[in-house]
């Protein structure tokens, strides 16, 4: 499970200077760092780089040079690789369970620090560590730009002042997982490119989706959830290899969706056959009506890349990679919890988890587990809860949405709140604006956000960041923040070092959860994709199957508008 140390690096560079985005061959020089990966490529992109440009740029290179490279990224074309990465980076559509999180793809960071220094820094010493896919970083070094006012081609990089050089190890830790907007202004980032493999998308058919989530019969949804749980978390139960399981991941979906990467052209068909065998073995649990649907419940398409399945076919954005979940309005009354679910808890509570997931009322983000636990250099601030999670579930505590209310009482089963410190247990990406940690008086209980004013919640509950990082890592990040930015130059809501300042007001009103019937009213009447034949034909023409995953995500979550990123990312 080791990567060999080599003079060559495969990388992807994202920066904010005005070059046209493309992947180009490059040679190392004194201003670049050479982490231990296998091949060297460079990508330069323009100001405002997003995943649409990233995916299209790598695709263009692959089409010219032969398909060699795969980039680990997010599900939304409009999302920035930088903001996505610094909060962890959930790669549910691009192989995160094989290659790790976004923070694990970073090779070098270029930034302007609060002290005004324009720096580049990255690992300069590392060693193999048994059981990990990537070598462990043992030293981080950097250089400073002596003449940032000149054109980049004339920049002169040299040793930094001693006080700046002393920060690089901590900055490497803090940037990668510690959130954006608070450590400095990121100008560019080099990202590891992985070896190319074709994309296989397996999903429920339209008929199956409606049967699972829009009928009073939950038998098929529960069975699909149990199959998905075994596939993602217990491959031995299905007699498949760990590699087959890790090849698939998913981004915020109900059961039955698999984003997979494999050289095997029959991968999707084999997964469906495995599901059909599972249905046959448990057919007695299905009603007669559901039995007729179950065996033909899944379908698959194959494409050269995830981005190819999410491309606009026409209109002003024709050819661009769109968002799997379309942008939506998020009210300040929305208070979602993105709860990390430990893999060990899932395996010990399969039926309980299937009951929560299989109703279709709440979706699970499956960019966790697999090799994501071991695909890192052991020096990022991404929490141990992320590494040890099997998935992440979004829900609104006390929202009255049936099965989601069952999640709150389960949290003390998953994490230890009795040790005197708060453990990390909340996901960082999509952290809700009204999210808090547990009650200070009784950490085994969640913050009752719908019973408190914002001022009361700030006083009575642990911070959201403490639930993300845990007490110990948050203390280290706050210490780094004081050293890097002693004057608080960079301050953003819910970032490390930020103190939420809420003035008491006589007209402050309690926040009320959205009613379940209001959410039902917002369900679309046409949230499922076209017929399978149309999808197959569209994918062959590099078209978009975005409606497929978007529709099923709406079914699984019934509240796309609940997605919210609150940290201002300084680009």
Higher per-residue pLDDT: 394 or 27 = 394
Across the range 504-524, mean pLDDT stands at: 44
Q: CA–CA separation, 485 vs 114, rounded Å? A: 6
Task: Give the rounded percent of residues in the chain with a pLDDT score beyond 90.
Answer: 57
Q: Which residues contact 228 (CB under 8 A, 6 or more apart)?
A: 255, 256, 258, 357
Q: Which residues contact 200 (CB under 8 A, 6 or more apart)?
A: 258, 259, 260, 261, 262, 267, 268, 271, 300, 301, 302
Range scoring the smallest mean pLDDT among 12-26, 353-367, 499-513? 12-26
Q: Is the pLDDT of residue 43 over 80?
A: no
- Confidence class of residue 32 from pLDDT cuts 50, 70 and 90? low
pLDDT given at position 41: 53
- The chain-wide mean pLDDT, for the chain, equals 80
pLDDT given at position 35: 53
Give the containing element (helix H, strand E) for 107.
strand 106-112
Assigned domain for 183 exists: yes
Assigned domain for 52 exists: yes
Q: Are 297 and 205 in contact (CB under 8 A)?
A: yes
pLDDT digit string, tens, across residues 184-195:
999 889 888 999
Assigned domain for 364 exists: no
Assigned domain for 415 exists: no
Q: Is the pLDDT of residue 514 over 50?
A: no
Q: Is the pLDDT of residue 38 over 70?
A: no
Burial zone of 526 (CB within 10 Å; 0-12 exposed, 13-18 middle, 19+ buried): exposed
Q: Is the pLDDT of residue 155 over 80?
A: yes
pLDDT given at position 397: 63
Q: Is the pLDDT of residue 21 over 60?
A: no
pLDDT given at position 103: 95
pLDDT digit string, tens, across residues 216-235:
888 899 999 999 999 999 99
Q: What is the CATH number of the domain that holds 154?
A: 3.30.465.10
DSSP for 347-400, please give it. HHTHHHHHHHHTTSSS-EEE-SSGGGGTSS-S-S---HHHHHEEEEEEE-TTS-
Q: Which domain holds residue 143?
A: 11-195
Assigned domain for 15 exists: yes
Task: Give the rounded percent of residues in the chain with a pLDDT score beyond 70.
Answer: 75
pLDDT digit string, tens, across residues 262-286:
999 999 999 999 999 999 999 999 9
pLDDT digit string, tens, across residues 285-326:
998 889 989 989 999 999 999 999 999 999 999 999 988 777
Assigned domain for 80 exists: yes
Higher per-residue pLDDT: 327 or 441 = 441
Assigned domain for 274 exists: no
What is the domain count for the chain?
A: 1
- Confidence class of residue 504 from pLDDT cuts 50, 70 and 90? low
Q: Are 15 and 192 in contact (CB under 8 A)?
A: no
Assigned domain for 34 exists: yes
pTM of the model: 0.83
């Amino acid at each position: 499970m080791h990567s060999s140390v080599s003079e060559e690096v495969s990388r992807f560079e994202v920066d904010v200077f005005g070059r046209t985005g493309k992947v180009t061959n490059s040679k190392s020089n004194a201003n670049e760092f050479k982490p231990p990966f296998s091949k060297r490529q460079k990508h330069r992109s323009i100001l405002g780089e997003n995943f649409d440009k990233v995916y299209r740029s790598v695709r263009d290179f692959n089409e010219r040079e032969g398909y060699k490279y795969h980039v680990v990224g997010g599900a939304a074309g409009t999302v920035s690789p930088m903001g996505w990465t610094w909060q962890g980076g959930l790669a549910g559509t691009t192989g995160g369970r094989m290659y790790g999180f976004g923070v694990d793809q970073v090779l070098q960071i270029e930034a302007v620090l609060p002290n005004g220094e324009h720096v580049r820094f990255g690992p300069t010493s590392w060693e193999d560590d048994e059981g990990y896919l990537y070598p462990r970083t043992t030293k981080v070094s950097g250089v400073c730009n002596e003449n940032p006012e000149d054109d980049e081609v004339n920049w002169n990089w040299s040793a930094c002042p001693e006080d700046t050089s002393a920060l690089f190890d901590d900055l490497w830790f803090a940037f990668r997982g510690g959130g954006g907007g608070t450590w400095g202004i990121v100008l560019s980032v080099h990202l590891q490119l992985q070896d190319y493999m074709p994309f296989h998308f397996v999903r429920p058919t339209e008929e199956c989706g409606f049967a699972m989530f829009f009928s009073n019969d939950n038998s098929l949804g529960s069975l699909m959830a149990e199959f998905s749980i075994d596939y993602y978390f217990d491959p031995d139960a299905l007699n498949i290899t760990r590699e087959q399981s890790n090849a698939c991941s998913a981004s915020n979906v109900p059961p039955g969706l698999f984003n997979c990467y494999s050289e095997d052209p029959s991968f999707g068909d084999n997964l469906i056959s495995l599901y059909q065998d599972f249905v046959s073995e448990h057919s007695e649990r299905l009603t007669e009506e559901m039995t007729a649907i179950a065996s033909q419940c899944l379908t698959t398409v194959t494409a050269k890349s995830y981005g190819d399945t999410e491309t606009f076919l026409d209109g002003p954005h024709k050819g661009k990679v769109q968002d799997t979940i379309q942008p939506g309005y998020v009210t300040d009354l929305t208070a979602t919890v993105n709860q990390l679910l430990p893999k060990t808890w899932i395996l010990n509570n399969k039926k309980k988890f299937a009951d929560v997931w299989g109703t279709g009322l709440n979706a699970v983000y499956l960019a966790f587990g697999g090799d994501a636990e071991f695909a890192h250099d052991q020096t990022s601030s991404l929490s141990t809860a992320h590494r040890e999670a099997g998935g992440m579930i979004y829900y609104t505590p006390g929202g009255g949405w049936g099965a989601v209310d069952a999640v709150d009482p389960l949290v003390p089963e998953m994490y230890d709140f009795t040790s005197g410190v708060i453990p990390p247990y909340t996901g960082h990406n999509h952290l809700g604006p009204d999210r808090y940690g547990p009650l200070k008086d009784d950490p085994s209980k969640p913050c009752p956000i719908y019973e408190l004013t914002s001022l009361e919640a700030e006083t009575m509950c642990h911070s959201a960041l403490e639930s993300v990082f845990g007490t110990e890592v948050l203390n280290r990040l706050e210490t780094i923040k004081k050293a890097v930015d002693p004057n608080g130059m960079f301050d953003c809501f819910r970032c490390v070092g930020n103190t939420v300042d809420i003035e008491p007001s006589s007209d402050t009103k309690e926040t009320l959860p959205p009613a379940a019937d209001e959410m039902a009213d917002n369900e679309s009447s046409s949230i499922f994709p076209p017929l399978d034949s149309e999808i197959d034909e569209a994918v062959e023409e590099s078209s978009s199957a975005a409606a497929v995953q978007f529709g099923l995500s709406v079914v699984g979550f019934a509240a796309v508008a609940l997605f919210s990123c609150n940290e201002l990312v300084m680009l």
